[in-house]
Amino acid sequence: MIAIGGSIGTGIFLASGYSIFIGGPGGAMMAYGLMAVIVYFLMTSLGEMSTYKPSSGSFCDYSTMYVGKSFGFAMSYNYWLNWAITIAAEISAAALVMSYWFPHVNPVYFSLVFFVMIVIANVFSVKVYGEIEYWLSFIKVGVIIVFIVLGIFTIYQQPQFGTQNWHVADAPFHNSWYGFISVFLFAGFSFQGTELIGVASGETKDPEKSIPKSIKLVFWRLTLFYVLSIGIISLLLPFNDPMLAQQDSVTTSPYTIIFAKYAGQYAADAMNFIILTALISAANASMYSSSRILWYMGKDGQTPSVFKYANKNGVPMMALFATALIGSLVFLSSFIGNGTFFSYIVQISSLCGFIAWFGIAFSHYKFRRNYLPNEGGVEVLKYRAKFYPWAQLISMFVIGFIVLAQFITLGEHYSILDFVMIYSSVILFAIIYLLHKFYLDKRMK
């Protein structure tokens, strides 16, 4: 339940509406569907590597083992930044949800309150973390199911079952290639976190049976949740609904808009409150995960030693504060607007996630090609990923294409700042890799 619920948050409750806005219903559904297939390939790759050699930390260990120390080092920092930046995205999204009730209040005040709440919550012991996240995940999954059921019932009552929304303006593929390529960043952001399932499954008692089952379960449920939700939203709301989004700016959750339109204001308020709870939960989980990633990196010697310590309650305070510092980027929203900031920060976080996913596929490819033949071949594997090597090659090609194709989204009249904002994750990864390759690696020996 936590595995599924952990991947349900800002991506489905808020970014899904913006995806429909920029790519149209057809572009959004195709992008999310293709992303689901890539995620399935990556989960099977991690499942194979983690059952062969379970990792006590993040999957970045496999990048170090099978590709190289510098690649693994850069992957670790990238993955920490991925989740630390996501904190800012989740808090920004929560502030946007609050703006539904308080449109005239500066969202940065809500961001400040949520940020302080999350930092304080992570300072104390985390004994009840798993229990809380389980029930919050249960609520999130339940809300999605209720939305899908009620949405289908509502569509049945609409003229032409709502298909007229697929013919508004240039729908179903709004903005043509530009829209389709742009949606991938939001689709990738939505599926972030699923890679953790592959690592955790390596420590199960019966991996040969449990891994295929858990991967199929999570893949089909998440795919149905996302694709069905986007399909229902697109049949109940036209992609150009001003409440859905505006140019370069997210406004309101499509779930809240639909409940307000078809179920009344009280239902919309209830849905908005549940979404707010889910987003705060997601931000809290991101803070917890990213601080633990930095803590593990400290214990592994990849960061200054100050980050390897934890207090008597098991809380890595220095790692937590460093992570919170990155999360405080959310306050930049006061300069450019919360909706615009949310769009930018999701793109940056998403590209960090794509780099991590590329690393998973590349590590698995190298594992099979260079490492496994010397260890007894595929016969020693407890679980074999399907469609090797095509799944890994296709994943790397698609991810590489998505990252490079973001240049299209800059348009004809872009600035250096626009370019840096889009490709900051790639640039930073390259800098960290080269810094370790030619300087830090020698100092660490």
- Go through the domains of the chain in sequence order and give each one's CATH number: 2-444 (1.20.1740.10)
Please give the pLDDT value at position 251: 66
Which band of pLDDT confidence, cut at 50, 70 and 90, is reported for residue 192?
A: confident
Average pLDDT value for residue range 58-64: 86
Whether residue 160 has pLDDT greater than 80 = no
Q: Residue 184 and residue 416: Cα distance in Å, rounded?
A: 22
Higher pLDDT, 99 or 202: 99
Higher pLDDT, 369 or 244: 369
- Could you give the residue ranges of the DSSP H alpha helices within 100-206? 107-123, 129-156, 176-191, 195-200
The amino acid present at 8, given as its one-letter code, is: I
Please give the pLDDT value at position 280: 86
Which band of pLDDT confidence, cut at 50, 70 and 90, is reported for residue 339?
A: confident
394 burial level (CB within 10 Å; 0-12, 13-18, 19+):
middle
CA 353, distance to chain mean position in Å, is 7
Where residue 241 falls (left for φ over 0; alpha for ψ -120 to 50; beta otherwise) is beta
* Residue 62 host element (H or E): helix 60-66
Please give the pLDDT value at position 288: 85
Ranges 68-77, 139-148, 199-208, most confident? 68-77
Average pLDDT value for residue range 98-114: 90
- pLDDT averaged over every residue in the chain: 84
Which band of pLDDT confidence, cut at 50, 70 and 90, is reported for residue 69?
A: very high
Ranges 174-188, 329-343, 358-372, 415-429, most confident? 358-372
In eight-state DSSP terms, residue 329 is: G
Instruction: Dump pLDDT digits (tens) for 424-442.
Output: 899 999 999 999 998 876 6
Structure tokens at 298: 């400290």
Q: In sequence order, what are the residues at sequence separation of 6 or more whose Cβ sits closer than 8 angstroms to the Cβ of residue 130?
A: 2
Q: Are 345 and 92 in contact (CB under 8 A)?
A: yes
Please give the pLDDT value at position 326: 92
Bridge partners (DSSP) listed for residue 250: 245
Q: Phi/psi of residue 173, each to 5°? A: -110, 80
Higher pLDDT, 69 or 8: 69
Q: Which residue has the tokens 């006590």?
A: 56
Please give the pLDDT value at position 364: 94
Please give the pLDDT value at position 292: 87
Which band of pLDDT confidence, cut at 50, 70 and 90, is reported for residue 250?
A: low
Q: In sequence order, what are the residues at sequence separation of 6 or more whose Cβ sits closer than 8 angstroms to the Cβ of residue 97?
A: 14, 252, 253, 256, 272, 275, 276, 279
Whether residue 376 has pLDDT greater than 90 = no
In eight-state DSSP terms, residue 250 is: E
Whether residue 444 has pLDDT greater than 70 = no
